[in-house]
Amino acid sequence: MLVLISYDNSVILWWFYILYILMMKKIITALLTLAMSIGAGAQDVKSDHNFDIAKNLEVFNAIYKNLEMMYVDTLDANVTVGHAINAMLRSLDPYTEYYPEDKQKDLKMQLSGKYAGIGAMIRYHLGLQRVVIDEPYEGMPAAEAGIRKGDIILAIDDSVMTDKTVSYVSEHLRGEAGTSFVLKVKRPSTGKTLKMKITRRSIQLPDISYYGLQPGGIGYLNLTQFTEDCSKDVRRAFLDMKRQGMEKFVLDLRDNGGGSLQEAINIVNMFVPKDLLLVRTVGKVERANRDYRTTVEPIDTVMPIVVLVNDGTASASEITSGSLQDLDRAVILGTRTYGKGLVQLPNVPLPYNGNLKLTTGKYYIPSGRCIQAINYKHTQGGYTEHVPDSLTRVFHTANGREVRDGGGIKPDVEVKADSLTNLAFYLASSGRDSTEVMFDWVVNYISHHPTIAAAKDFEVSDADYESFKQAVMKSGFKYDRESRKYLDNLVKLAKFEGYYDGAKAEFDALEAKLNHNLDHDLDFNKPIIKQLLAADIVAAYYYQRGTVENALRNDKQFAEAVKLLNDSQRYKGILTPKE
């Protein structure tokens, strides 16, 4: 016989249920109030809209009540309701997110770029099956304590870390600023176990990874994110290079996912006059719509500027590049940007110390266009539609050049970056192969070289590459060759359509020519693999700034930017509308 609720527990369960209902009513009231206030601001809301909100919230409450009372297993409300909330938000767009009380640190770090910890990137080493140090940040506690790339994390205070995940170790490395702990690591190059006391500090992830004056009076600045006060850092760096003799400027926003809209406004304001409309945000609640204008006098309105962009350039980066394009203040070079034209309110307070990052509208840059590339549909659990080029509309820059909305910022000069070859991708991707041959070789190289050449000059020698090649050959490294995949698919298709038997000899000959030869592949991919090795090695000596500076040696898009800036007639011609 099944017993749902025993007599002895019914009174206790009843009181828990009463408390639960009271709690749920508070949440429903808060959500309903928020929904009502949003509904009141819209002009086209139907009379039964508020009823639908109340009805569905009541149904949700009733479902959970029955689950709590009669479902076969005991439910964790934080998990079950949390999944329901997240599923609802996923049906809207990727940027509307719920942060419960225990995730407030994540939200704070996302908005400010700051956290308290030791300042180091960690990763999981598949061969060792341990979490290891990948890259300490310059001037941070890990680097100051002597932590190196490749150090194996054994323990944090008395907590053993040898069987833990990256997220678990990361969580224990972080903490309150000013707190100390003992970190125990093993150094592979010596086999020694080291203990060091480290004090956590507030870590500000660098917004400028590198800036510096290049040959020919060309200044270069790589901005990685739009965090709080990053515009002040950009201003200082720009003026510093100007004092050194900068005559032309390259602003690198590739793979910059954005951040603060106000910081983007401040950066554009450095190069365009005061009191220009840069961004207009428009949403459902009229009183929340806002115009963003330049508010101070610029520091330079004439210096030629090229902005580098790619498909990882998004949000505030697109506001910056798009505004400079619309105002004909810079030439945009690279590949089409991501296309994020949505605006978020980052900190909507919720009951029980939660927060909601909420998409509230779209933004429009100086020409009047919105560059949102994806329409988010909220039916059928949520799906996306990419805006095709054929449906985009024409707008005009200040000089009268044609630009289009939708699909991100299309560069004035399209230059595609060199793509990573298949072999190079497999060697460089952490966790791709249990041998971890590239990571281990770099760690070994560092242990045998106390110093290396300056970041801008360093390169892996042919002898060193031969050493790496032999290490790969001996490691048992394997990777999937794309040519083999295509051949296998072609054979299947030929058999399906009845052509294989007649062409079998040709297929056999092609298979013989495409036979796997790792020695040949390593020689063929030597230039790109040497660049990857150099980037990893330089980071251990000169940190992120050194990696960026070294990469400029072989940066195809940067080289095209330099060529363009050195051709003033072509530069001006791009910013002039076609007759």
Residues involved in catalysis? 315, 326, 340
The string of DSSP codes covering 5-68 is S-HHHHHHHHHHHHHHHHHHHHHHHHHHHHHHHHHHH-TT--TTHHHHHHHHHHHHHHHHHHHH
Distance CA 563, CA 249 (A): 12
Cα–Cα distance, 212 to 552 (Å, whole number): 11
* Distance between CA atoms of residues 161 and 383, nearest Å: 40
User: What is the DSSP secondary-structure string of 258-321?
Assistant: -B-HHHHHHHHHTTS-TT-EEEEEEESSGGG-EEEE--S--S-SSS-EEEEE-TT--THHHHHH
* Dist CA 343 CA 291 (whole Å): 13
- What CA–CA distance (Å, rounded) separates 121 from 132? 9
**Do the Cβ atoms of 145 and 152 come closer than 8 Å?**
no
Distances (CA, A) of 134 to 513, 537, 539: 39, 11, 10
Question: Alpha-carbon distance 345 to 315, whole Å?
Answer: 14
Q: Give ∠ CA 52-57-58 in degrees, rounded to 5.
A: 100
**Alpha carbon distance 43, 382 (integer Å):** 24
Separation CA 575–CA 327 (nearest Å): 10
Angle of CA points 505, 506, 510, to nearest 5°: 120
Structure tokens at 577: 């509308």
Give me the phi and psi of 309, to 5 degrees please. Answer: -135, 160
